[in-house]
Structure 1
Amino acid sequence: MRCRSSSPEDTRAIAAALAASLRPGDVIALSGDLGAGKTCFVQGAAAALGVTERVTSPTFILVREHAGRVPVLHMDVYRLNNLQELTDLGYEELLDQSRVIFIEWGDAVGPLLPDEFLEVAIRDDDGDRRSIDVHARGDAWNRRFAPVAGALRPWMTEGTA
């Protein structure tokens, strides 16, 4: 499904609406060019999950944990050169069931993603406008996707339900 955002505030609102359907153990793989809005999306979702501290991109530290009503793990794998580097960081141990996990540049680590995850691809259309494609990956997410689609309906483009 495709959503349209006309501002960073819209992007955060879309993420917050999606976050209402998230639960501990969920993985969200984000993709998009530099500056597309991946961190902005995580900010909106994290706030909806009860994170009160400032959420910034963990580009240089790779992984940042945030306490909230639902704990959030925010990863940015942009600087990794290969999948082995992610494995060496203890990636498999990070994928526990106690928190929601957001992975910026998730498309770069596709072979290591779990069978069940949400894919969020953000495209910079022009200025502050973004196209945000959300896709369920795996049977369990496909079964859970109807509430996500309902929550995102205000931003959906025609023909993408």
Structure 2
Amino acid sequence: MKEIKTYSQEDTVEFGKKLGMLLKQGDIVCINGDLGTGKTVLTNGIAWALGINEYITSPTFTIVNEYERENISLYHFDVYRISDPEEMYEIGFEEYLYNGGVVVIEWADLIKDILPQDNIWITIEKDMKNGVDARIIRVEFNGERYREYEEKLGSGDDKKR
């Protein structure tokens, strides 16, 4: 598990870019955290690294936003309003998972039972020590597919203050 600390939205975006540079077709990124912790901010960094220059908004009411580029697609889910994981199948969730794009899922813990075991699991927490509005980002790389990512991501807390 990697633990990274960020001290601003810009830091969180930069970490998202760093992670996004590693991602390939078929990767699944699961992001968890309370409201306002920076899940969509992190997703913006991932999108930028994939060559998506649009501002990413959370698809809270549509559940999924699709961003197509010539070499890769990003499927950005926000499952906050899902009351039963089975609802995901009604929108073709499995097709998104296995369609060759990068899948980013906010509030992934709500549908954990239907997710593939191989994934990148991210938890973001606010860290309000000493009056600083920082974030602790914990990243777990689950499965053989992601083994090299952990090594390439770096040594953890590289934003010391």
User: Which TM-score applies when normalising by structure 1?
Assistant: 0.89
Match of 1:148 in 2: 153
What secondary structure, in the 3-state scheme, does the structure 1 residue paired with 2:45 have?
helix
Displacement, 1:100?
0.6
| 4+ long deviations beyond 4 Å | none
Cα RMSD (Å): 1.8
Alpha-carbon separation, structure 1, partners of 2:28 and 2:51 = 17
Counterpart amino acid of residue 139 in structure 2:
V
Q: 2:124 maps to which residue?
A: 122
Q: Which runs of 5+ in 2 are unaligned?
A: none
Higher deviation after alignment, 96-105 or 77-86: 96-105
Matches within 5 A, 1:69-108: 69-108=71-110
**What does residue 56 of structure 1 align with?**
57
Q: Which amino acid aligns with 1:55?
A: I
- Residues 110-129 of structure 1: per-residue CA shift (max 9 Å, x gap): 11111211011100112531
1:14 aligns with 2:15: yes
Q: Deviations over 1:16-35 (max 9, x none)?
A: 01111100100000000011
- Deviation of 1:7 (Å): 0.1
Hey, what does 1:132 align to over in structure 2?
137
Tell me how far apart the structure 1 counterparts of residues 11 and 149 of structure 2 sit (CA, whole Å).
23
Quick one: distance in 2 between partners of 1:97 and 1:5? 32
Unaligned 5+ runs, structure 1: 157-161
Q: Deviations over 1:29-55 (max 9, x none)?
A: 000001110000000110111001121
Which stretch has the larger CA shift, 45-54 or 88-97? 88-97
Task: Count how many residue pairs are aligned between Structure 1 and Structure 2.
Answer: 156
Q: TM-score, normalised by structure 2?
A: 0.89
Contact 1:28 1:101 in 2 (8 A): yes
- Opposite residue 158 of structure 2, the aligned amino acid is P
Q: State the one-letter code of the partner of 1:3.
A: I
Return the letter of the residue paired with 1:136.
F
Quote the sequence identity (%).
34
Deviation at 1:104, TM superposition (A): 0.2
Equivalent residue letter for 2:109: D
